Every structure is written in C-alpha cells, then in structure tokens.
C-alpha cells in the first residue's frame, strides 16, 4: 500500500557518526553521517558505506588466459596460464587496465623459442606459457604451463619439461611439460591447463589438454599445450584448447602448427630448420573476458549478451571501466 506523508517537516533519517555506524547493516540501509556531514548507504556487494554521489560496486566473473609459449626443436610450447573465477568485486566508474599477452615465438634449429606473455585483469595475472626445450639442453621453460623437454642424442640423455603453475596460484593455472623422448630427437609435449604434456618416446609427445569455459556464452576450450617435434617419426599433436601440432622431419610427415590466436595454446615443436613444414611454431595469444548479470553497465572490449549476462571480450589490451 502507499505511504502518504503529511505536513512540512519532511523525513528525519537515522543519524550516526563514522565511529557509531550500525555494526551489522543490511543492503541499502541509509542514514546521516554527522562526522562527514552527508547521507550514506550500505553497499552490501562491496561491503562499504557510500555517499549518494558514489557509484555502487558489483560482482563480475572473469577469464584471464595468457599467451602460449613458443615451440622449440623439439619441445612443444607450454600453454598460457588459465585463471577464472566469480565474485570479483569492481567499483562503478573505476577504470581497470586489461593486458592481453602475446604468444611466444618459435625457435629455429638449436635456438629455443620464447615464453608467452602474461595477461592481466586488475589483481589477476595469468603467466605466459613456458618455451619448449631444445634437443641438446636442459632448458625447457616454466610458466603458466611448462614447455616440453628435449633430448641429447649424443649422450642419450632425456631432459624434463618445464614446471607449470609458476608462480603458484590456487586453483592451479596450468600443468608441467612432458619429458623429452628416448630417440629420434623426440620432444616432450607442452603442458596444458588441465593435463600434463605427454612424455616423448621414439616420437614426439602430445600436448596437454586445456580447460573449457562457458563465460562467453558457449563452451570454448583454452590453453592447450603444443605437441613435441621429432626427426624421422610421428610428432606429437597439440592439446585441445588451441595447442599447435609438433612437426616431423624426414619420414615424420606431420606439419607443425602455431598455437591458436586468443586461445593461449602452446606452439608446436619442430625438428630441424631444413624442412619448412617442421620448424618450431609460435604460441597463440591470450584473451580476457569479463561477464556480469544484467544489462550493460561498463565499457571496454567487444560487448555481447548471453543468458541475461553482459560480456566484455578483450582480444587485445585495453581498459574495462566498471
């Protein structure tokens, strides 16, 4: 029913000082703060008192995927770090810098590829994928997911893959790379977001599988590891989530491929630079996606809607203004 106010005295709000504010306020509770000489209200999402001139906070869901590591001769590149979560509180009117990491470059012959670059949203950083290791060095890179290890044919030494989830966060942002193979210059597969890269054997190891997210409105898998390369037999395949295939020189026949753009996949490992179809490949760039319930209230990125949510997708660096 309606409430009718009579008279000319108006409404007298509850009053308190900053030190005597209600200890257990409820959402939307308001009163007059005599210390600050202003009306204020309780923002339950941000757990804070706001003046009526300030914007409210609200919760968002995020996906932050880093760039995948470059493949080497023969280790596959590790996938870019994969981090996602809900309930991250942003403050209306505040600008948040978005960084979308690029994929690492593929190596050439005895030279290693490079690590992928980090992707960042506010305090959330996903680490770039580790580079693949070369055949004569214990130098597979660590990162969001680790790069695949190499092998030294002269001493029959196999090298381990790089470590994933480096630096460590919880939940884990990625997995370790696989160990180099036992023959044929076979490389280990790069680690994926959810699965460790396969060890090489007499052929290249497969890249580890990535992780699916439906934040965009449909299920998409990100952060697959790159397959390991080999010399004369089959190379490893890339992990689901944009991992590139390893390349097989001589009788191997499989063409190496790069990690998929904006999926954070590791680049495929190669064999030698004498075969253009089997050179190490670059990792795929990352992506940042932010979603919240209801109609649009923020700016930045490519804006779409799905299932009652507004979605901001960043395929390159920019600014999210809440």
- Is 1 domain-assigned? no
The domain boundary, picked from 27, 54, 81, lies at 54
- Is 7 domain-assigned? no
**What helix, strand, coil percent values describe the chain, rounded to 5?**
0, 25, 70
Q: Are residues 23 and 99 in the same domain?
A: no
What's the CA gap between 91 and 1, in Å, rounded? Answer: 35
Q: Are residues 30 and 99 in the same domain?
A: no
CA angle 301, 142, 170 (to 5 degrees): 65
- Is 122 domain-assigned? yes
What per-residue confidence (pLDDT) applies to 40?
Answer: 76
Q: How many domains does one find in the chain?
A: 2
Cis peptide before 286 (omega within 30 of 0): no
- Is 238 domain-assigned? yes
Q: Are residues 61 and 35 in the same domain?
A: no
Q: Are residues 155 and 295 in the same domain?
A: yes
Q: Are residues 45 and 82 in the same domain?
A: no
**What pTM was computed for the model?**
0.86
Q: Are residues 170 and 45 in the same domain?
A: no
Q: Are residues 184 and 201 in the same domain?
A: yes
Which residue range is the domain that position 79 belongs to?
55-322
Q: Are residues 148 and 25 in the same domain?
A: no
Q: Are residues 272 and 301 in the same domain?
A: yes
What per-residue confidence (pLDDT) applies to 121?
Answer: 98
Q: Are residues 19 and 83 in the same domain?
A: no
In 3-state terms, what secondary structure has residue 278? Answer: helix
What's the CA gap between 209 and 172, in Å, rounded? Answer: 14
Q: Are residues 163 and 114 in the same domain?
A: yes
Q: Are residues 157 and 24 in the same domain?
A: no
**Paired residues of 97 in beta bridges:** 319
What per-residue confidence (pLDDT) applies to 8?
Answer: 66
- Is 27 domain-assigned? yes
What per-residue confidence (pLDDT) applies to 214?
Answer: 98
- Is 8 domain-assigned? no
Q: Mind listing the pLDDT tens digit of every residue in the chain (322 residues)?
A: 344 555 666 677 788 888 898 988 988 788 888 887 878 788 887 787 877 766 678 999 999 999 999 999 999 999 999 999 999 999 888 999 999 999 999 997 667 899 999 999 999 999 999 999 998 888 999 999 999 999 877 777 889 999 999 999 999 999 999 999 988 889 999 999 999 999 999 899 999 999 999 999 999 999 999 999 988 678 999 999 999 999 987 555 688 999 999 999 999 999 865 677 788 999 999 999 999 999 999 999 999 999 999 999 999 999 999 9
């Amino acid at each position: 029913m309606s409430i009718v106010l009579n008279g000319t005295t108006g409404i007298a709000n509850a009053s308190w000082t900053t030190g005597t504010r209600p200890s257990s306020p409820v959402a939307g509770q308001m009163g007059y703060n005599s210390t600050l000489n202003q009306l204020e209200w309780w923002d339950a999402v941000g757990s804070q008192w706001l003046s009526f001139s300030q914007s409210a906070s609200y919760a968002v869901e995020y996906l932050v995927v880093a760039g995948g590591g470059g493949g080497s001769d023969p280790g596959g590149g590790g996938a870019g770090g994969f981090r996602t979560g809900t309930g991250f509180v942003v403050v209306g009117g505040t600008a948040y810098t978005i960084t979308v990491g690029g994929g690492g470059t593929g190596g050439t012959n005895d030279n290693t590829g490079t690590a992928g670059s980090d992707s960042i949203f506010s305090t959330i950083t996903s680490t770039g994928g580790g580079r693949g290791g070369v055949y004569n060095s214990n130098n597979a890179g660590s990162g969001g997911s680790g790069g695949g290890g190499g092998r030294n044919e002269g001493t029959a030494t196999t090298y381990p893959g790089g470590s994933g989830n480096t630096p460590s966060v919880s939940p884990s942002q990625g997995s370790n790379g696989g160990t180099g193979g036992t023959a044929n210059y076979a490389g280990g597969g790069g680690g994926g977001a959810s699965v460790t890269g396969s060890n090489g054997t007499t052929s290249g190891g497969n890249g580890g599988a990535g992780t699916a997210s439906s934040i965009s409105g449909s299920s998409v898998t990100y952060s697959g590891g790159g397959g390991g390369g080999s010399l004369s037999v089959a190379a490893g395949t890339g992990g689901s989530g944009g991992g590139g295939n390893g390349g097989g020189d001589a009788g191997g026949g499989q063409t190496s491929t790069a990690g998929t753009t904006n999926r954070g996949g590791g680049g495929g490992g190669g064999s030698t630079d004498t075969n253009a179809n089997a050179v190490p490949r670059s990792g795929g760039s990352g992506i940042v996606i932010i979603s919240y319930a209801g109609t649009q209230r923020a700016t930045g990125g490519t804006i779409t809607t799905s299932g009652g949510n507004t979605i901001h997708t960043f395929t390159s660096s920019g600014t999210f203004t809440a």
